[in-house]
Structure 1
């Protein structure tokens, strides 16, 4: 498995659970210094940073790009795939497709989290899930052109009421025959929703394609009450070989959160 740490350049997410919020060059330097293999990038949009600048920093620091987030589409532009306004749904899909292409050129998948939206009011759950499935079909197809999957993240109930559990996500992917779509197993969201985190990993099985490694309080693993041992065992059991990424608050500071994360990962996965 590979290790990654989050680096956000979205001003609207300054208080969000990302380890580094530094200018890009400094963030890459800190990620490499902490011992991570990759960075997970969150940009305001696909044109926020020159692709060549990211590639140069990867080469300079020996880092890869594990994934790119699409959350700025929601926090910055107020877009979601389940908005009752069809024009906003179209704009949301356009934003996501552009982020898929940006990430794809770096060999990195894109993540759908907050931009999935929610159902309610004039939008029924079935209608919202139908729109979401249609969008994921297109997203999976676009990502496939770059040889990467598209990552769908089940969120906790306070952030979305669409799909909150790994097992439900896996069954939904199969029921909708969604191609090239994988699940993100975010341990913070799972701590809220799942009865047993290890069993949830087993339930997600082969559909899990990315992991956010966070403790129960969204701090670095070891600063809350999550036990990583059975989770790592479950990941090994399902044959997971993807990325373990730190999407956590920079507490008590970014460097400490980064060091704590990599220490925890190496404790339970000595080969990382």
Structure 2
């Protein structure tokens, strides 16, 4: 059964003790199963305090991040690789101590706009470093999710098929594909088919809409997306991610181009997203059953 999550940036741009309590409390009160924590700045997270708050609220967590330019493990620059590997290991250790089930995001390259395509050697080095990270993650039963993002945020994984190929190259059972409908809407020729073809490699899923605002108020065919998720047999986390200039600050505001308010009320946004996701998933599940229900009875 899928667990439902919400990204912490729906609630707060930082992770002070006050914002930690507020974000986790609201997430739990609405009815989410987990909160996705950003570990872009691991030093900002009080791990022990956060874990106590999660346990008190009765919800779980996942973690996400993107490597910085000087941590790019696809750069074929040994110093950058070393820093990127250290960042990944630090994130995995934090996830372990938080009790997180997944570490996802732009882990295979830097979180930035590139001006040149990736090199074969750079991808090879990324695969090797991620294989080592997967071995560490496996010791704590953590799944690594390689996020497929648009061309302005990475030059390595822009489509689901590329991520599946990379998972195969890494060859670790706990390395999966992390799909996000916002990015798929930009890069995929057929979002539904891409989800279905990802199949068992799908390990983490971000919902949202074309403008990163309220679900259903943009241009993505979300009913079709959820039908594809069901058809693919996906049972992992489904996490709502949304950004507004009301909450996010730098550097994320600049990297993602969050220049306007797409919503004002975090709680209303999150409540709507959970209700919408549950309804769409239920509708997709019922649609999937129609073939069986529509069969003619056979004479006995």
The TM-score range, normalised by the shorter chain, is: 0.7 to 0.9
The 1:133–1:68 alpha-carbon spacing in structure 2 relative to 1, beyond 3 Å, is same
Contact 2:10 2:241 in 1 (8 A): yes
1:52 counterpart (33, 43, 48): 48
Partner SS, residue 225 of structure 2: helix
2:32 counterpart (36, 60, 63): 36
Q: Alpha-carbon deviation of 1:207?
A: 0.4
Separation in 1, partners of 2:59, 2:48: 14
Partner SS, residue 230 of structure 2: helix
List per-residue Cα deviations over 1:63-98 (Å, max 9, x = no partner).
111x11123x42xx8522223532122111101111
Q: TM-score, normalised by structure 2?
A: 0.78
Separation in 2, partners of 1:114, 1:145: 19
Over the aligned positions, Cα root-mean-square deviation in angstroms equals: 2.2
Separation in 2, partners of 1:110, 1:175: 19
2:64 counterpart (59, 65, 69): 69
Q: Of the two, which has the highest radius of gyration?
A: 2
- Segments of structure 2 that go 5 or more residues without pairing to the other structure are 14-18, 245-261, 284-300
List per-residue Cα deviations over 1:206-235 (Å, max 9, x = no partner).
001000001111223112011222221221
Mapping 1:1-272, distance limit 5 Å: 1-7=2-8, 18-21=9-12, 23-65=19-61, 67-71=62-66, 73-74=67-68, 78-105=70-97, 106-113=99-106, 116-117=109-110, 124-250=118-244, 251-253=262-264, 254-270=266-282
Partner SS, residue 242 of structure 2: coil
Q: Which has the higher contact order (CA 8 A, sep 6+)?
A: 1
The 4+ residue runs of structure 1 with deviation greater than 6 A are none
Partner SS, residue 221 of structure 1: coil
Q: Alpha-carbon deviation of 1:127?
A: 1.8
Size of the aligned set, in residue pairs, is: 256
